[in-house]
Amino acid sequence: MVGTENIMVKKQEMVMEDAQKYLPVLRVTLGWMYFSAFLRRTVNVPDKLNPHSSAYVGGKLLTFIPHAWQPIVGQLEWLVSHPSILYPFLLLFTAVEAIFGLLMMLGFMTRLSGLVIAILAWSIGAAGGWLGPTCVDEWQIAAVEGAAGLMFMLTGSRWLSIDQYLARKWPRGLRILNLYIPLW
């Protein structure tokens, strides 16, 4: 009976390994969605981060307010009514998208990147509401990208990634004191 269990475990491991071979396409695409948001705001249309421009991203938050989930409405109203805080918030949000989008594309700290991307995606969905200002785009982003981020948080990335190398070198994960944290 023990021999049969070992064979089943080996088969499950082979199935998981085969499934991991196809995930780099999704991982790179998901990472690009966030890294490209940074590029759009800093390279393509830098006015999106200029509070004195009509293209300023802060203005889009105003269009979110009528459709946002009720617990988020107050936070959005407060943020929009405090431009001295809104601007650094948007810079931080853009930087987080850039950093974790790049990490996801590289497959470095994929689990942590997946968690952050899922939170970003679901935050956009909650702020945009069910029928957001651009149709249902915010909910499509929240549903698909949030689910993909969650999947990478749970599975990591072992194929064509920096995590693949790190997992070979430190299979138990990152050691902090006596805890091993599986970041890859």
pLDDT at 141: 80
Using alpha carbons only, give the angle 17, 20, 21 rounded to the nearest 5 degrees. 95
Q: 52: which DSSP letter?
A: T
Question: Average pLDDT, stretch 161-171?
Answer: 89
* Rounded distance between C-alpha atoms, residue 102 and residue 177, angstroms: 28
* Helices and strands (H and E) in the chain: how many: 9, 2
Domain ranges of the chain: 2-181
pLDDT tens across 121-144, in order? 999 888 887 665 555 667 788 899
Q: What is the pTM of this model?
A: 0.84
pLDDT at 2: 59
Question: Average pLDDT, stretch 66-94?
Answer: 92
Which two structure tokens, joined as six digits, stand for 104? Answer: 């996801």
Q: How confident is the model at residue 147 (pLDDT cuts 50, 70, 90)?
A: very high
